[in-house]
Chains A and B, each alone.
Chain A
Amino acid sequence: MVPLAHVLTLSAALFVLGVAGFIIRRNVITIFMCIELMLNAVNLAFIGFARHLGSLDGQLFVFFVIVVAAAEAAVGLAIIIALFRNHESLTIDEIDSMKL
Chain B
Amino acid sequence: MVILFYIAAIVAILAALGVVLQKTPVYSALLLIVVLCSLAVIYLLLGAEFIAFIQVIVYAGAIMVLFVLVIMLLNARRETPGQGSRMARWLGGPLLVVFLAEIVLAAWRQFPGAASPPPLNAGPAAIGQLLFRSYVLPFEVTSILILVAILGAVVLAKKS
Binding site for B on A (CB under 8 A): 1-10, 12-14, 16-21, 23-27, 29-30, 32-34, 36-37, 40, 43-44, 47-48, 50-57, 59-60, 62-64, 66-75, 77-82, 84-85, 90-93
Contact = CB atoms under 8 A, between A and B. Distances in A.
A18 B127 contact: no
Contact of A93 (B36, B82, B159): B82
A81 B157 contact: yes
A93 B2 contact: no
A8 B115 CA distance: 14
Contacts of B74: 29, 80-81, 84, 90
Contacts of B70: 29, 77, 80-81
A33 B59 CA distance: 12
B131 A60 contact: yes
Contacts of A24: 20, 84, 88
Contact of B107 (A12, A20, A66): A12
Interface string B115-156: 111111010001100110001001000100110111011101
Interface string B43-68: 10111101100110011001100110
Contact of B20 (A34, A67, A77): A34
Interface residues of B, number: 85
Given A4-B111, A29-B70, A68 B79 contact: no
A62 B43 CA distance: 11
Most-contacted residue by chain B among A13, A34, A68 (CB, 10 A): A13
A59 B153 contact: no
23 contacts: A7-B46, A8-B111, A9-B103, A10-B12, A10-B42, A17-B16, A17-B20, A21-B19, A24-B20, A33-B25, A33-B29, A33-B67, A40-B59, A51-B48, A59-B51, A66-B55, A67-B142, A68-B142, A68-B145, A74-B152, A78-B152, A80-B70, A93-B82
